[in-house]
């Protein structure tokens, strides 16, 4: 399974790194690399993160939306099973990292 990143996720990773290490670009790069490396495990273990259940999800249904903690941030991602008849861009199953947020941020702030 492949791990991919939404544009918002990449923007948020950069934003958080710049905020945390405003005067140390090298440390920011290291932190970003560590976070990306942490998500690599999702390729082999896509259901590693905790499932996020929305109120409109059917009982017992796995909506595919999950979160994985890395230090003091949540990595919000979705496990997607490709439908080769509908999904032209992604022909195989993949994990899409949707966004990253600090654990103290409220949902929907990004």
Confidence of residue 85 (pLDDT cuts 50, 70, 90): very low
pLDDT reported for residue 34: 97
pLDDT reported for residue 61: 52
CATH class of the region 2-102: alpha beta
pTM of the predicted protein model: 0.80
Helices (H), the chain: 7-20, 25-40
Statement: residue 7 has pLDDT above 90: yes
pLDDT reported for residue 89: 56
Residue with tokens 């996020």: 52
**Distances from the Cα of 25 to the Cα of 19, 31, 64, 81, angstroms:** 11, 10, 34, 37
Residue 18: CB atoms within 10 Å = 12
């Amino acid at each position: 399974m492949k791990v991919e990143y939404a544009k918002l996720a990449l923007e948020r990773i950069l934003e958080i790194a710049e905020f945390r290490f405003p005067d140390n670009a090298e440390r920011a790069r290291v932190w970003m690399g560590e976070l990306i490396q942490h998500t690599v495990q999702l390729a082999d273990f896509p259901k590693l993160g905790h499932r996020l259940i929305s109120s409109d999800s059917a009982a017992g249904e796995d909506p595919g939306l999950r979160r994985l903690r890395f230090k003091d941030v949540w990595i919000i991602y979705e496990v997607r099973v490709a439908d080769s008849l509908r999904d032209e861009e992604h022909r195989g199953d993949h994990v899409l990292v949707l966004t990253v947020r600090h654990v103290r941020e409220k949902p929907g702030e990004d």
